[in-house]
Chains A and B, each alone.
Chain A
């Protein structure tokens, strides 16, 4: 499904990595590891198509993601280390607005259900500015509850979460893989995700 071949990344004068390649099939999870500055986020952004590799190619279902363009993005859900939520809007409004802008239909009931799962029910009408860091992160993660697009690319999804939330998120990702989805994620903490096949990729030496 998702294939990367011989990727090279140059930032400014430094070559962050080169010769990076992997192959990920339905139901598989890729753990991306490496110390700070090894280029994990850069690689994730490349996989999304936000930036272009210096050389090499990324293919989705056998076709280059540059060629697929809109079709590839329709299959992709990306969660960066920024939450992409608006401080002025309530969690419910944020969830609905981000679904609409991503071109998906999300009913208000589904959105409330997602917020209940992340433990924010009762705060759905409070502007996000009044939420804690962890709660804001949960608003961002609530997107994943109803997310059915096959490829998830998650940048440090477990940061700022408490133990319960980490377990919950691991379950959500596990369920996604069970449905035949793919996930690429970076993390600094050891997390046990129930997955049939877990691949590891270490950047840098």
Chain B
């Protein structure tokens, strides 16, 4: 059972590493979005420090979303998805593998990049640390919920825009608790409650979303 998950992760990671440009474009998108905000708002550090949690979290969220359409699209185009659906292994487990692989090449690098961008906003060290932690904890849920949207919009015209329309409202809790954790640290409240709720969302999202996504994929293949 676990074997199929690790096989899927290994295959998707190998594919991602053979196409490093995809990974790089997601990271650059995050950097550019985060850098645009100070240009739009002004350079006052006090204001930027206040906006930083929200801005960085929205940036990470949009960057994750940007990479979602490709989650199943390539496999759909070359027929691999049909083979996955016809495998005697449960499709949900393979989707779980793909979700984890997606997180490893989107959420994880975004989390590692976030503190560097946080410096642009003059965040304090403890806030930077919580920012990284909250993105690490929250992005798996984003990948999981995103997989449902990617499955539902697979092969549709205008699928990318539609995907964001479906997925963004469902991302709101993750955004609230993620940015809230950093906010709470900045204001001295302590991020504990936010981070636990974020972890709960991720556990729920990663446990249930792949199965819903698998049903969506089977419908898309019909």
| Residues 78-122 of A contacting B (Cβ, < 8 Å) | 78, 80-89, 93, 97-98, 100-103
By the criterion CB–CB under 8 Å, are A101 and B88 in contact?
no
A60-93 CB mask vs B (1 if < 8 Å, else 0) is 0000000000110110101011111111110001
By the criterion CB–CB under 8 Å, are B88 and A83 in contact?
no
By the criterion CB–CB under 8 Å, are B89 and A103 in contact?
yes
Distance A124 CA – B79 CA, assembled complex (angstroms): 21
Name B7's contact: one of A52, A76, A100 (CB within 8 Å). Answer: A100
Give the interface size class of chain B: 20 to 34
Contacts A50-B222, A97-B11, A101-B7 hold; do A86 and B85 have CB atoms under 8 A apart? Answer: no
Distance A86 CA – B12 CA, assembled complex (angstroms): 11
Contacts of A101 in B (CB 8 A): 4, 7-8, 11, 83-84, 87, 89, 94
B79-96 CB mask vs A (1 if < 8 Å, else 0) is 110111111111000100
Contacts A100-B7, A101-B94, A103-B4 hold; do A86 and B80 have CB atoms under 8 A apart? Answer: yes
Q: Is A200 an interface residue (CB 8 A)?
A: no
Q: Is A55 an interface residue (CB 8 A)?
A: no
Contacts A74-B88, A100-B7 hold; do A82 and B18 have CB atoms under 8 A apart? Answer: no
Contacts of B221 in A (CB 8 A): 50-51
Give the interface size class of chain A: 20 to 34
- Which DSSP category, helix, strand, loop or mixed, fits chain B's interface? helix
Could you list 17 A-B pairs, sorted by A, with CB under 8 Å?
A: A50-B82, A50-B85, A70-B88, A76-B86, A78-B86, A81-B79, A82-B78, A82-B79, A83-B78, A84-B79, A87-B78, A101-B83, A101-B87, A101-B89, A102-B87, A103-B4, A127-B18
Contacts of B82 in A (CB 8 A): 50, 78, 80, 82, 84
> Closest CB of chain A to B209's CB: distance in Å?
20
Query: Lowest 9 CB-CB distances: which A-B pairs, in order?
Result: A82-B79, A84-B79, A88-B18, A74-B88, A51-B222, A73-B88, A100-B7, A84-B80, A84-B83
Q: Is B156 an interface residue (CB 8 A)?
A: no
> Closest CB of chain B to A75's CB: distance in Å?
9
B1-32 CB mask vs A (1 if < 8 Å, else 0) is 00010011001001100110000000000000
Contacts of A93 in B (CB 8 A): 14
> Closest CB of chain B to A200's CB: distance in Å?
25
